[in-house]
Amino acid sequence: MADAAMVMTENGGALVLSGFDLERDDGLETAVIISLFTDRRASAEQIPVELPQDDLRGYWGDISNATPSDQTGSLLWLLAREKQLPQVLSRAQQYCREALAWMVEDLVATRVEVTAQFVAQGWMLILVDIFRPTGSPVRYRFNYEWSAQAAKRSS
């Protein structure tokens, strides 16, 4: 079954148009984008002191989930004000693996590997390798920009 195709742009996720219609894809890239770049709800203990303490975010569709652990998105948004340190890369990889774990649980993939690295001031590269049950692995590359850096450039 095909889904509406989504790609990442410098302004966030965007649906792809084909003429006057939505372009379609097999859903894998769109699923990865939604999983990584939708803000997962955080617990109050996870909110850094620099961020508003009452902003837990979260996807509205998770309100009716039967299990609290079955949540859409990732906690990458918690890194927006962090410094570029090795432990931040580790947390980013952890957040991505957690966000994509459903793919292995739902047998969409046999395994998912995530690597993160700093490529410039305020920019992190996230590499996602998805090993499907059949066929060759698929690699996705995403640039993640820190909000603090974006605010400095726009002012």
CATH class of 3-154: alpha beta
33 vs 56, residue with greater confidence? 33
pLDDT of 22 strictly over 60: no
Record the tokens describing residue 41, joined without a space. 């709800």
Residues in the chain: 155
Give pLDDT tens digits for 109-126: 999 999 999 998 888 999
pLDDT score for 16: 62
Cβ atoms of 56 and 42 within 8 Å: the answer is: yes
Indicate the burial class of 83 (C-beta count within 10 angstroms; 0-12, 13-18, 19 or more).
exposed
Q: How crowded is residue 10: how many other Cβ atoms within 10 Å of its Cβ?
A: 8
State the DSSP H helix or E strand holding residue 36, giving kind and residue range, or none if neither: helix 28-37
State the DSSP H helix or E strand holding residue 77, giving kind and residue range, or none if neither: none
pLDDT of 152 strictly over 50: no
pLDDT score for 63: 74
In the chain, what are the domain boundaries?
A: 3-154
- Report the percent of the chain where pLDDT is more than 70: 73
Tell me the pLDDT of the chain averaged across its residues: 81
134 vs 3, residue with greater confidence? 134
**Residue entry with tokens 């792809």:** 16
**Residue entry with tokens 């980013």:** 92
